[in-house]
Amino acid sequence: MTVTLAKTAGFCYGVRRAVELAEQTAAAGGPCAMLGHLVHNDHVVEHFAQEGMTCVTDPDDVPEWAAVVVRSHGESRAVFEALERRGLRVVDATCPSVARIHKLVAQAEERGRVPVIVGKRGHPEVTATAGWCKNAVVVESGEELERWIRSHPEGDSLPLTLVSQTTSTREVWKKAVEIAKKLCTNAETFDTICNATYQRQSEAEFLARQCQVMVVIGDHKSANTRHLAELCQQHCSHVYWIEQASELPLDAIKCAASVGITAGASTPGWIIKEVFYTMSEEKMEIEESFAEMLEKSIKTLNTGDKVTGTVVNITPTEIQVELGTKHTGYIPLSELSDDPSVKVEDLVHVGDEIETQVTRINDQDGIVTLSKKRLDAAKNWEMIEEARENGTVVEGYIREENKGGVVANVNGIRVFVPASQTGLRRNEPMDVLVGTTARMQITDVNRSRRRVVGSIRAVAAAERAAKAQAIWDNIEVDKHYQGTVKSLTSYGAFVDIGGVDGMVHISELSWSRIKHPSEAVSVGDVVDVYVIKYDPEKKKISLGMKDRSVSPWENFISQYSIGDNAEVKIVKLMSFGAFAEIVPGVDGLIHISQIADHRVEKPEDELAEGQIVEVKITDINMEAKKVSLSRRAVLREEYDED
């Protein structure tokens, strides 16, 4: 037989705290009493009776000069006032989660709102909560709330403030909230269901689905134990609700292959252990005293501790976190992120696991104030310092231009990048970087002065060097690269092929005859180039851009023959004639004697560079790849036609 015990079985924080306070009160000596049953468990009440603590139900019945312990369910305002009038020493063991509900309903009524308590009538916790305001409304279901709203004269304009009994079920609460928001235009809700209760119920349901038999341990007067039993019965056909080990139906469960055990929030550890021991085939450790088990069940926290918890509720002002300790954790929204524009729903959701830092502990109320922002800041400073030591590259968002440089945000840390380290040219405006993300190295960190200096240039230089080395390791003639034109000179263009600059001579930019590289390319153009030759020692690379897959000469002879007329472009004037481009890459010579139909002293008297004229192809020298042209022949043909 496999026996599985639920993780959250037994005392919740509120009950554990109440029992601990009662233990301390009884140990102090002198008369003491508990007002009502401290918790819903007769075994616990009997334990304190043996310690000399009497149990009374009326404030007037408390013995004179006695210390009185207020039970974990809390009491009404009137009861506290009655105890105060008698001058008694009050030990308030009200569960901090319940005390919070008392404050919520009291404050709601002060603001002119109607407090609505979702919970079971007559339950001590509900009665005590209602006692902190004059006109509280108690409903046990969403349907009851709907009937009450529809019957009220103010109807949908009712200013309702909804809270829930801490041990109520999540389903009842969700239904009530849904109806309140549907029927009322002025309703506010506070999810005050204790997460420990919700977690206990979820674990019980899970075990009930997995196990053949469920054992629920707890007093029959305990409402939360009743809820556990009812939930288990929905998923398991064999559920036994017992108060102690002697009630175990051993004969009925011996044949089961798997048994699950859960316990109500008021069930002490020694009873759970006794049940588990009775069912287990293995010997367990020696019985511990009540105080020892209580002490072991409490995990302490200190300011500055890093803690991980689960988000259980999100309100307009704070985030509630279950830490698995005796404290309830709260993150104020101001402590969630240092970015004021960020939305809570983008950062965290109910059910998320979140790591935070303890900033303040209130043991009296059982509340821990947490900060995610401070923990993130501490982590980010550690990351920055490690990046400085290890030379790690980080990314930063450039927020603004500052005197002498720019300011970047690296994971919430302000990093100054001097102008000389931005990687920009001397006269280039730095505002071009604002609003961009840049990779940088951290060069200096002074945490005490909160000063960090970075360099974009160092990263760019290192990356360029790595790329350059990769180029030189793999370069070869005729290899193609996609490059960017970086600058132009009178004799060619420099092209960055990925960390290395190569030179494209003007003659290699185009098959056409050009006077300046700007006629073919512009700075910033992305071009396809290939390696003509390279010198690793001198770090020089000659590149070409002309498409060598098609021969200009072959293109020419495929289009023209001797005797054909062609429109050509005058590209150069010489003393003996003019050169004209027939097709890109193939020029022909118009001898001075063939420029006009009359004697010409100088070619420039008849022609100009860039001029388009019609000529006749008079000769093609295939071996020398030379072409003779005649403008005179065309002019004579025109004259003959006239």
Encode pLDDT of 284-331 as tens digits. 333 344 444 444 444 567 888 888 888 877 877 788 887 766 677 888
- The band of 485, judged by pLDDT with boundaries at 50, 70 and 90, is very high
Per-residue pLDDT tens over the stretch 139-163: 999 999 999 999 988 877 889 999 9
Mutual angle of helices 42-50 and 13-27, in 10-degree steps? 10
Check: pTM over 0.85? Answer yes or no: no
pLDDT beyond 70 at 483? yes
- pLDDT number for residue 326: 61
Tokens of 142: 């969403």
Per-residue pLDDT tens over the stretch 575-585: 999 999 998 88
pLDDT beyond 70 at 281? no
Segment among 18-32, 336-350, 415-429, 573-587 with least mean pLDDT? 336-350
User: In degrees, to the nearest 5, what angle opens at C-alpha 161 toward C-alphas 155 and 163?
Assistant: 125
Out of 20, 23, 75, 125, pick the active-site residue: 125
- The band of 366, judged by pLDDT with boundaries at 50, 70 and 90, is low
Per-residue pLDDT tens over the stretch 391-419: 889 999 999 998 889 999 898 889 999 99
- pLDDT number for residue 299: 54
- Name every residue whose Cβ is closer than 8 Å to that of residue 321 and which is 6 or more positions away in sequence: 309, 310, 311, 312, 328, 329, 330, 331, 354, 356, 370
pLDDT beyond 70 at 511? yes
pLDDT beyond 90 at 259? no
DSSP of 325-388: SSSEEEEEGGGT-S-TT--HHHH--TT-EEEEEEEEEETTTTEEEEEHHHHHHHHHHHHHHHHH
* 125 assigned to active site: yes
- The band of 208, judged by pLDDT with boundaries at 50, 70 and 90, is very high
Backbone φ/ψ region at 351: left (φ over 0), alpha (ψ -120 to 50), beta? left
- Name the average pLDDT for the chain: 86
- pLDDT number for residue 324: 66
pLDDT beyond 90 at 117? yes
Per-residue pLDDT tens over the stretch 21-61: 888 888 888 889 999 888 888 888 888 888 889 899 888 88
